[in-house]
Structure 1
Amino acid sequence: MTAVTPGGDGAVHRLVLLRHAKAERAGAVDDVLRPLKLDGRRQAGRVGAALRDGGLVPDRVLCSSALRTRQTWELLAAHLGDAEPEVTISDALYAADVDDVLGLLRTTDARVRTLLVIGHEPTMASAASFLADPASDGGALAQVRVGVPTATYSVLESTAAWAEWGAQVAQLTYVGRPPA
């Protein structure tokens, strides 16, 4: 178990860190404008279904302003049912580091129980590794320490209020990638 002091009402807060789906190769357009490949579009839909089926429908979404992350969100959102989370598109997430991600999630309202962050590597895996308590799932922890492929999401849980999230505050419970 994570050694944290419960924040607020002691409810569990879940953070889902998602690397965008497969994008076109760099070169033809500016990196920020790279769209998803056809395979990436399919991946994004499968991620949405997996989040829905796993009970990970977000209350709030923080999404990088890059085209591939916005497309990932739009395509996965179509599979979440009637959910209408608050969505923030952030330029800060495009070139973010772990501190930037922490700064953004710490501004999240305490009533938000599931927060989805859609960004880029190596930041999504690094953030998961930084936040994960050493007693987290060993396989998941090993995966985020080496990085994650496209359309992979990490799930972290803690009773700490969002404003208190920092190093080793959460249990990394799962790293997943929907089947092809």
Structure 2
Amino acid sequence: MTNSVDGRRTGKRERLADAAARVFHEQGVEKTTIADIARVADVPVGNVYYYFKTKDQLVHAAIGAHEQTLNQIIEALERIETPAERLKELVRGWVGHSEIAARFGCPSGTLAAELDKRADGLDRELAQVMRRLIDWTQTQFAAMGRNDAAELAVALIAAYQGISLLTNTFRDPELMAVEGRRLERWIDSLAAEPAGTPNNLM
């Protein structure tokens, strides 16, 4: 759900967390080795164990990296004047990563699907990050005067997850671009409706 981690943080622990998020997205947790993460982070393998004793600890760190990325995205979106424009800019951000989605799927969505098969509780940690995005999205719809803001927020995030899956399945970034334009029109239509209008879930 969050955009790809950009690797701007410079400390070794932070670089390892960012690298873990990226490599887990590209390879999956089970196929990834600590050596893979160390290589991407440009940290000697032996140094990894100073910060993270197990791969599960790196999964936890990767979830933290997703959370930090989401917080940065939300912080940037909050500078935009209107809630409808904030939501449309969120959609544009997703579309801007359509090439990555075509190759690997949604970073948070693919990780959530993989962690769901485990019994260690890490899936619930990631769910909290995804819940934050839904809650923020709901706040934007509520600020537009929508009394169905909770339903609309879920519909928007579900649309993104669905198109990420199809974009990845067919390896076609244009699918996400088309859906992104549709979502922007949908958001505009909701913003133009009077407050209290019955819901319009696409």
- TM-score normalised according to structure 1 size: 0.28
Higher relative contact order (CA 8 A, sep 6+): 1
**Higher share of residues assigned strand:** 1
- TM-score normalised according to structure 2 size: 0.26
**Higher share of residues assigned helix:** 2
Q: Compare CA radii of gyration and give the structure with the larger one.
A: 2
